[in-house]
Structure 1
Amino acid sequence: MPRIFRRVGITALAITLLAGAATPAVATAGSRAVPKAAAEQDRPELQKAIQELVDAGYAGMQMRVNDQRGEWVGSAGVRKLGQSAKPPTNGRFRIGSTTKNFVATLMLQLVADGKVRLDGPVADYLPEFRLDRRITVRMLLQHTSGLFNFAGGEVYDDGTYVPGIPWQGKEWVDKRFHTYQPEELVRLALSKPAKFEPGTNWSYSNTNYVLARLLIEKVTGRPYGEEMKRRILRPLHLRDTMVPGTRTDIPGPHAHGYHRYEDAGQWKVIDVTRQNPSWISSAGEMISTTKDLHTFFSALNSGKLIPTELLAEMRKPHPKSAGLFGRYGLGLYVQDTGPNCVGTLLNHNGSNNGYGALMYSTPDGKMTMTASITMGDAAIDQAQVFPKVLEKLLKKVFCGRQAEPAYGAEPAQPTS
């Protein structure tokens, strides 16, 4: 059978960071039961898919699928190393760079309101940083500004690597409760050489979305977390989603995440469930659940959050942005699954040390898959393992008999 997901370049940062069956109408400890009538829980192929990911070495996974058959939720693996309880299917988790899709949506709402010009210079809103006037708001959201990536550093065309703040390993572990100010992260990035001239190329940079946060705060006069609540979280009743700021814990039910690192020649594993997410700020700090991510992404793609014309802009991918998750638009990836699947998939996955998040939707918002992955103590070759397990998972969810064709694609055929 031909491979339907194209294998393309994978960024080192994304791969390094990415790091139980639900029974109908029966609640397990820390989980919320889903009625069989609504969820049609008899879908062993989905349970098998998440179990395969755990078998590959991840500590745990919870997943939610919404499609024409209803809603399915399940989990596999463990909530905490050394214990047998599965991850709670209503558990909160750190969503990492999935945060960027929320921030981009908020920014486009401000564009719709006339408070921000999508193709206006960022320097007009944030003159204190003396940014290159060629850098526009669109470039921030699409990662075409060329600005140095403060978390992960940069590899330049001549092969030179310039590090940013500690983002993994012992350095990060030692500073995981340190508070960074967003202005501090931006100024660090601006002290380093740009990767390319604004608008001439594409490169994923967390700096773009910290600048987006500061711009949102400047034009609204409110912290971006408050603006996020006012414009998105409250209207959609996303009660389990939060912008934590410097809060170190994950409130409510949750699975634990772990970080494996080398120290003085010895490999160690530490529980990093508690951490100060200011190190990644608005580029990856948010906490949510699979249910809230489904509600948000379905609402966005069905046109409930931003005007149609801006949703279309969001979905225009940059031609040089090809990667594991597709091509990048404004705060989301656009992925082609081929003619024997659902056609176009939209996503923005994310990761934070200890946690990974998956968020996928068809363009009409009617079919979604949201999930959380927790890292454990296994040594995993992420560059080899993650693309393979992700591809198998997406095939099971979006390319089986339950998947409906999109954008004129042929009816989906069953896959093995």
Structure 2
Amino acid sequence: MVSRRTTLKTGAGVVAVAVGGGGVLGASPRPASAEEIATSVEPDAAGLQEVLDEMASSAASGVLAEVRGGGRVWRGSGGVAELGEGKPVVAGGRFRAGSITKSFVAAVVLQLVGEGRLRLGDSVERWLPGVVAEGGRITVRQLLQHTSGIVNYTNTRAFRTLYGGVDQVVGLRDRTWTPQELLKFTAGEALLFELGTSWMYSNTNYILLALVIERVTGNHYAREAERRVLRPLGLRGTEFPGRRSVIVGSHAHGYLPRRVGDQVEPVDITRFNPSVGGASGEVVSTAADLNRFFRALVTGRLLRPEQQRELLQIRSTGRDYDYGLGVETKVVNGTRLWGHEGDIFGYQAASWSTEDGRRQLTVSYNPWGSGDPESFIERLLAVAFRNR
């Protein structure tokens, strides 16, 4: 996406509040290790807010974040909820989280594996006969870890032609896509590499995994995720909207840049049917919910021990992160983090947790301006996971 600059006013952050002893970040019943001591440092409220304000002045129309650590929770925001209006971004507001959907899908798949209803070594053909070329050789594990070699449907020429410009995206904003229609974009496409020999991120993998979940359980993947993850964890701000185009509740608006002569104007894309992302990128959530979800996921609350070990088996990607089964991982300030990043038109998000669950960061922003948002996210990570 081409970023553009718009004059913005920054919003104030919310001061850190304490979490009680029975809350998300309780005290350890054993002596803390050096790493645990480092990751239990309270959030640097001033440093975090500074990054958000600078980001909102040059790279985003709005941004929000929540950091948990040291028994404290810090929430902050910057920019405006809607361009041309003075209302600040609500730090506890909802947002589209894109590919973070994949981690929810992976949690459901691994729970089914733990229940003996599915195996990581099962072929796609076993559950979805005739749906994928080479499906008899491609396994569930390879779908989860992006080692299947299946082409990413959003990278195909047919898809990029259809969604090739701002006016085209806006024209399709109410279009409902079925998983089968999304898979058609990859029809006739050869595998990118021999199975398991390399790594390439592919949204197609998770469209297929959702269909596997449906075949195994008889339920839509979203219903299984709600029953198995959202309700047990109390994630009341999270939903899989399907074809619903409106974000319910407080939220910042998302924009795309349209060039008109020598000027660039923002096109509001907040109202958007996310079925084009489906199980690869439709989730709507909050920073608090995503922090709670990834803490539960990486610390083993959602999975049995064997599946937990599988979740955290790392595959090198050649990018600035490596990949487990539906989760990204990277090292910041010497501490290994687990989580996922995601984007969909007008919105980008990232959620990260330390492996021991003692510190989390979730950030959502709406790209807009001449600055590089990734540089600000790197700074935010550095501050959030500072060891002292």
Residue 224 (str. 1) matches residue 207 (str. 2): no
Give 1:240's aligned residue. 237
Residue 134 (str. 1) matches residue 137 (str. 2): yes
Contact 2:146 2:202 in 1 (8 A): yes
Contact 2:241 2:274 in 1 (8 A): yes
Q: Deviations over 1:261-303 (max 9, x none)?
A: 4579874421111001011111000000001001111111111
Q: Deviations over 1:104-157 (max 9, x none)?
A: 111111111111110111110000314311110011111111111111337xxx
Residue 352 (str. 1) matches residue 348 (str. 2): no
Shift, 1:35, TM fit: 4.3
The match for 2:322 among 313, 317, 327 is: 327
Contact 1:350 1:357 in 2 (8 A): yes
Q: Distance in 2 between matches of 1:279 and 1:303?
A: 31
Q: Which moved more, 1:187-196 or 1:79-88?
A: 187-196
Query: Where in structure 2 are the equivalents of 1:249-398 lying within 5 Å?
Result: 249-262=246-259, 267-319=264-316, 321-324=317-320, 326-337=321-332, 341-376=333-368, 378-379=369-370, 385-398=372-385
Q: Distance in 2 between matches of 1:389 and 1:293?
A: 20
The 1:21–1:368 alpha-carbon spacing in structure 2 relative to 1, beyond 3 Å, is same
How much is the aligned-residue C-alpha RMSD, in angstroms?
2.4
The 1:398–1:371 alpha-carbon spacing in structure 2 relative to 1, beyond 3 Å, is same
Q: Which moved more, 1:366-375 or 1:258-267?
A: 258-267
The match for 1:172 among 165, 169, 176 is: 169
Q: Distance in 1 between matches of 2:299 and 2:111?
A: 15
Q: Distance in 2 between matches of 1:351 and 1:59?
A: 15
Contact 1:63 1:290 in 2 (8 A): yes
Q: How many positions carry a matched residue from both structures?
A: 360
Contact 2:17 2:73 in 1 (8 A): no
Contact 2:19 2:71 in 1 (8 A): no
Contact 1:22 1:41 in 2 (8 A): no
Q: Could you say what secondary structure the match of 2:212 adopts?
A: helix
The residue identity in structure 2 corresponding to 1:388 is S
Q: Distance in 2 between matches of 1:123 and 1:189?
A: 16
Residue 153 (str. 1) matches residue 156 (str. 2): yes
The 1:374–1:163 alpha-carbon spacing in structure 2 relative to 1, beyond 3 Å, is closer
Q: Distance in 2 between matches of 1:234 and 1:37?
A: 21
Shift, 1:41, TM fit: 8.2
The residue identity in structure 2 corresponding to 1:226 is R
Contact 2:64 2:76 in 1 (8 A): yes
Q: Deviations over 1:235-271 (max 9, x none)?
A: 1111110000000000011111111145798744211
Contact 2:62 2:78 in 1 (8 A): yes
The 1:43–1:162 alpha-carbon spacing in structure 2 relative to 1, beyond 3 Å, is closer
Contact 1:170 1:262 in 2 (8 A): no
Instruction: Give the unaligned 5+ runs of structure 2.
Output: 4-10, 26-41
TM-score (norm 2): 0.86
Contact 1:41 1:73 in 2 (8 A): no
The 1:264–1:291 alpha-carbon spacing in structure 2 relative to 1, beyond 3 Å, is same
Contact 2:75 2:91 in 1 (8 A): yes
Structure richer in strand, relative to its length? 2
Shift, 1:387, TM fit: 3.3
Contact 1:357 1:371 in 2 (8 A): yes
Q: Distance in 1 between matches of 2:269 and 2:164?
A: 13
Contact 1:152 1:167 in 2 (8 A): no
Shift, 1:347, TM fit: 2.0
Q: Could you say what secondary structure the match of 1:309 adopts?
A: helix
The residue identity in structure 2 corresponding to 1:396 is V
Query: Where in structure 2 are the equivalents of 1:175-194 lying within 5 Å?
Result: 175-194=172-191
Q: Could you say what secondary structure the match of 1:129 adopts?
A: coil
Q: Distance in 2 between matches of 1:162 and 1:22?
A: 39
The 1:343–1:237 alpha-carbon spacing in structure 2 relative to 1, beyond 3 Å, is same
Query: Where in structure 2 are the equivalents of 1:192-203 lying within 5 Å?
Result: 192-203=189-200
Contact 2:299 2:357 in 1 (8 A): yes
Residue 52 (str. 1) matches residue 54 (str. 2): yes
Contact 1:186 1:207 in 2 (8 A): yes
Contact 1:122 1:131 in 2 (8 A): no
The residue identity in structure 2 corresponding to 1:393 is L
The residue identity in structure 2 corresponding to 1:141 is L
